A and B are shown apart, each in its own frame.
Chain A
Amino acid sequence: MAVQRVKFYQTGSFAVGNRLLDPAMRSVQADRSRANAITSGHRACRGCGEALGARYVLDAAMRATGGKLVTVNATGCLEVFSTPYPESAWQVAWLHSLFGNAPAVAAGVAAALRAKGRTDIRVIGQAGDGGTVDIGFGCLSGLFERNDDVLFICYDNQGYMNTGVQRSGATPPAARTTTTPVEDEAPGNRFGQGKFVPFIAMAHEIPYVATATIADLRDLEAKVERAMQLRGARYLHVLVPCPLGWGTDASETIRIARLATESGLFPVFEAEHGEVTDVSPIRHRVPVEEYLRRQLRFRHLFEPTRREDLIARIQARADATILRFGLIAEKES
């Protein structure tokens, strides 16, 4: 009997591990021989975005480097929930630095490997937004300036979640945290200058800068793979919602990340040597309200009275971001 190969196409699905995909296009997680760099048994909250992100990032990095990887981790949720003595969830070479020096410690590891002629072994430094945007900022800039051969990853959940949801330099405007409480005159976090570290990384003109979210995990993996093809300082900024800190249901983590991108608030793009090289266009644009009203940290924008002024300001930021990055195609069908 003649065999007719029939190709099935699955459209409109973000599903990872899609069996209709060519094996080569599937997620690393679909591979049974994946590294399981961070394996089960860790103590993350249910629905933790960072745990999900770290798993995808590190397994992708392990595949891209043939398992030749050393990881340096700053203090924070990821470090705390993965290494409760006497257990560790890590199955890779892993060093806990301090809170503010993960980039520098990673640079040190890279220097040592260079000195020993082992540049085949690659280095990842990782931290939360606190450890990257705030306390680790000086060291990060140093890493960029020296162009150390390190891929630095920021898992951005927009606050100091490990210590109980305090505000960081990455906390978005109007968000409620324990140090930006909601009062009439002070509705959550200020509308400050913001501190978008991907821009700052681009200003250093390092080989590779990218943003990603856990809503598009294949994209996240692809960016890790791309980063590992390059040498020098590379920076990856991953949006990872925190159900506890953001006040979302544990089952909504991925959806919230998607809404962050589809609203235009979080741009997903790649840049090399200071120039944007690719953007992920918004497929189905949503107003910021869609995103905000699902999170308790923004509940005060809607109850007891609707804060149209604040919502409008946030919308304006989203609009500006969309324009700046060209996130929506000129002709919308």
Chain B
Amino acid sequence: MFQIRIHGRGGQGVVTAAELLSVAAFAEGRHAQAFPSFGSERTGAPVVAFCRIDDRPIRVREPVLEPDAVIVQDPTLLRPGLGVDVLAGLRPQGYLLVNTAATLDDLGLGAVAARLPYGHVATVPATAIARTHVGRPVPNAALLGAFAALTELMSIDSVAAAIAARFHGRLSDGNVAAARAAYEHVKGVRARASAA
């Protein structure tokens, strides 16, 4: 089973991101489950959503305590004192994807990244990509494209199809474009790193 935990703030499409991941996995013939850690949160408050993917039916209902991958939609959640430990329980072989234009060291994640396997950590300026392609600073679709590139857990086409089915018209096209752009971004960074 592959467990994903997505952290963000209300209004950033965190819950939708988890749902789209589950839809993409389902489209590829796998079992999937997505649910939010619902709070009385308002726009701007920290939000967590979970997604599980497996080749067997998924029966557990508990929150994801030991994620195989963590997606951070809002790097301001990394600040100490917020009471949100986005990295809690992240498995030693886990993946980390952060929405940011800064470097991991800038965010104080250098040590954490070093402990994770090589190639399991990525940053992507998802909000900027979203603004470019969708005209809104909602980074979830872009992050899903980046996630596909980072983990290769599902194809970018499955992700794109899930996005296209959820949204309509310009929003759909824009989000799909953002996902693909983020996908290419992460792929490009990894290729360059391998070549170096």
- Chain A interfacial positions (CB closer than 8 Å to B): 43-46, 48, 80-81, 84, 162, 244
Q: How far is the CB of B59 from chain A (nearest CB, A)?
A: 29
User: Do residues B44 and A46 form an inter-chain contact, with CB atoms below 8 A?
Assistant: yes
**Residues from 105 to 133 in B contacting A, C-beta threshold 8 Å:** none
User: Do residues B40 and A84 form an inter-chain contact, with CB atoms below 8 A?
Assistant: yes
Asked if B189 lies at the interface with its beta carbon under 8 angstroms from chain A, I say no
Q: Which of A44, A45, A48, A244 has the most CB of B within 10 A?
A: A45
3 A-B pairs with the lowest CB-CB distances in the bound complex, closest first: A45-B43, A45-B42, A80-B40
Given contacts A43-B40, A80-B40, 15 further A-B contacts (CB under 8 A): A43-B41, A43-B42, A43-B45, A44-B42, A45-B42, A45-B43, A45-B44, A46-B43, A46-B44, A48-B42, A81-B40, A81-B42, A84-B40, A162-B40, A244-B43
The chain A residue sitting closest to B41, CB to CB, is: A43
Give the complex CA separation of A235 and B189 in angstroms. Answer: 63
- Enumerate chain A residues within 8 angstroms of B42, measured Cβ to Cβ: 43-45, 48, 81
Question: Is chain A's interface secondary structure helix, strand, loop, or mixed overall?
Answer: loop
1/0 per residue, CB under 8 A from A, across B22-65: the answer is 00000000000000000011111100000000000000000000
Question: Is chain B's interface secondary structure helix, strand, loop, or mixed overall?
Answer: loop
- Enumerate chain A residues within 8 angstroms of B44, measured Cβ to Cβ: 45-46
* Interface bracket on B: under 10
The chain A residue sitting closest to B43, CB to CB, is: A45
- Enumerate chain B residues within 8 angstroms of A162, measured Cβ to Cβ: 40
- Chain B interfacial positions (CB closer than 8 Å to A): 40-45
12 sampled A-B residue pairs with Cβ under 8 A: A43-B42, A44-B42, A45-B43, A45-B44, A46-B43, A46-B44, A48-B42, A80-B40, A81-B40, A81-B42, A162-B40, A244-B43
- Enumerate chain A residues within 8 angstroms of B43, measured Cβ to Cβ: 45-46, 244
Give the complex CA separation of A254 and B41 in angstroms. Answer: 23
- Enumerate chain B residues within 8 angstroms of A43, measured Cβ to Cβ: 40-42, 45
The chain A residue sitting closest to B44, CB to CB, is: A46
Q: How far is the CB of B45 from chain A (nearest CB, A)?
A: 6
The chain A residue sitting closest to B10, CB to CB, is: A45
Q: How far is the CB of B151 from chain A (nearest CB, A)?
A: 32
Give the complex CA separation of A84 and B42 in angstroms. Answer: 12
Give the complex CA separation of A81 and B40 in angstroms. Answer: 7
The chain B residue sitting closest to A51, CB to CB, is: B42
Q: How far is the CB of B37 from chain A (nearest CB, A)?
A: 14
The chain B residue sitting closest to A84, CB to CB, is: B40
- Enumerate chain B residues within 8 angstroms of A44, measured Cβ to Cβ: 42
Give the complex CA separation of A162 and B45 in angstroms. Answer: 14
Give the complex CA separation of A45 and B44 in angstroms. Answer: 7
Q: How far is the CB of A170 from chain B (nearest CB, A)?
A: 21
- Enumerate chain B residues within 8 angstroms of A48, measured Cβ to Cβ: 42
Give the complex CA separation of A80 and B39 in angstroms. Answer: 10
The chain B residue sitting closest to A243, CB to CB, is: B43
- Enumerate chain A residues within 8 angstroms of B40, measured Cβ to Cβ: 43, 80-81, 84, 162
